[in-house]
Amino acid sequence: MQISARGDYAVRAALSLATAYPTLVSTQAIAAEQDMPRKFLEAVLADLRRAGVVRAQRGAEGGYTLARPPRDITIGQILRAVDGPLAGVRGLRPEETHYEGAAENLPRLWVAVRAAVRQVVDEVSLAEMASGKLPGHVRKLIARPDAWEPR
């Protein structure tokens, strides 16, 4: 799975908002804290607002806040809001792929890959991520000897 810059920025911005929730936070403050380009951050926050993840308030005292408590927003929701479906195969959803011959069973593998990604990003909330108290099954994945090794 490849996490885009947009997805990375969106999760980082949402984590900043989670730690300040329910206080409004300016784009300037998030950009400074997370060392992000402000214009790009504004575009990412606009995507999150359209998806109902954050809400904005204009004005001198304005800014952004999460639309729901951090415990009710998952990392997967944020990634989908800015990048669309989590797993795609040539622009198709895994269950929409079809192959002949030797590759006929490949769609099952693509569906399994999506399910594995979902098992992590859809089961970790902003609150858990911000606190570092990740679910047990995610901690087990992180603790695997090969988890931190590049391949």
The model's pLDDT over 65-90, given as tens digits with 9 standing for 90+, comes to 999 999 999 999 999 999 999 888 98
User: In this predicted structure, what is the pLDDT of residue 24?
Assistant: 97
The C-alpha angle with vertex 129 and arms to 125 and 133, in degrees rounded to 5, equals 100
Q: Which residues contact 2 (CB under 8 A, 6 or more apart)?
A: none
User: In this predicted structure, what is the pLDDT of residue 51?
Assistant: 97
Q: Which residues pair with 74 in a beta bridge?
A: 125
CB atoms < 10 A from the CB of 83, how many? 16
- Rounded average pLDDT over 23-37: 96
Query: How far apart are the C-alpha atoms of 89 and 108, rounded to whole Å?
Result: 12
Peptide bond into 22 cis (omega under 30): yes
- Rounded average pLDDT over 82-111: 93
Q: What pTM was estimated for this model as a whole?
A: 0.91
65: its two tokens: 């806040």
Q: Which helix (H) or strand (E) holds 54?
A: strand 54-57
- Rounded average pLDDT over 51-58: 96
- Rounded average pLDDT over 110-130: 96
